Amino acid sequence: MPLRPYLLAETNLRRLQAEPPRVAVLPWGATEAHNYHMPYGTDVYEAQAIAGEAARRAAELGTPAIVLPVIPFGNDGQQLDQVATISITTATSLAILGDVAHSLVTQGIDRLLIVNGHGGNHFKPTIRDLEAKFPLLVVLANFFDLATDTHQQLFELPGDHADEMETSLMLHLHPELVEFDQAGPGTRVATPLDDLKQLGAWSPRPWSKCHPDTGSGDPSRATAEKGQRYFEAITESLAQIIARMASSDCDSLVPEV
């Protein structure tokens, strides 16, 4: 395997001293069931791979960034009835991010990009709290919100969990972990919550009642080729975000605390 100096877990002090990073990248996933055909670590694998490839592309643009080790747990309170799901609270997420932020600013790194791979992780209030406390520009990128045009071109079936898009990504990144022939249909069962949403209200989905196989979206048309094309599009977009964050144009966005 070639050297990947943009990954903190694989680089060393000499390299970081020679070329200090302008931007730290924190991939954040979750540990939860993904239908019957994909691993519990799907969000972890996706966030980690996307962050790493984006940092590699950013380095080619002349922007040194360092990818921190992935956080493997997310907010999964509505899936705790599913065996071995691990959920952390918003308070825990804030505590983790606060300690990461303190470490970074102590070392002179004033820009942090969170690459989120789990739809249940909502970081906006947490980021507001961080920027009120630390001189740190914090940017959030939900990978599934990037490259929307490419997403629309590639994927035919709607969904948001273990669906055509996620299955395609994993067929590209880790085909050995995808048991495609075991996939459930990913159907959604209607609940009274749907009526509330039509009226403009929101509440978390009671996941097991809405999604009997834990999937949300039919994965049957997923392919590794679709996953590769989507991966390339979102990592290129993310590399541009990293480069933009590192530019002097963003100096004024670093909070003065």
Query: Cα–Cα distance between 52 and 185 in angstroms, integer?
Result: 31
Does residue 188 form part of some domain? no
Does residue 62 form part of some domain? yes
pLDDT, residue 66, reads 98
Q: What DSSP line would sit under 5-74, residue for residue? A: TTBTTT--HHHHHHS--SEEEEEE--B--BTBTB-TTHHHHHHHHHHHHHHHHHHHTT--EEEPPPB--B
| Cβ-contact 197, 181 below 8 angstroms | no
Does residue 187 form part of some domain? no
Q: Coil, strand or helix: which one is 114?
A: strand
pLDDT, residue 123, reads 96
Does residue 127 form part of some domain? yes
DSSP 78: G
Query: Domain containing 20 — which CATH number?
Result: 3.40.50.10310
Does residue 148 form part of some domain? yes
Does residue 87 form part of some domain? yes
pLDDT, residue 250, reads 86
pLDDT, residue 167, reads 98
Number of separate domains in the chain: 1
Query: Cα–Cα distance between 93 and 82 in angstroms, integer?
Result: 21
Which residues span the domain enclosing 147? 13-158+227-253
pLDDT, residue 193, reads 86
Query: Cα–Cα distance between 155 and 148 in angstroms, integer?
Result: 11
Does residue 201 form part of some domain? no
Does residue 126 form part of some domain? yes
Q: Coil, strand or helix: which one is 169?
A: helix
Positions of the chain with pLDDT lower than 50, given as ranges: none
| Cβ-contact 101, 132 below 8 angstroms | no
Rounded to the nearest 10 degrees, the angle between the axes of helix 164-173 and helix 224-246 is: 90
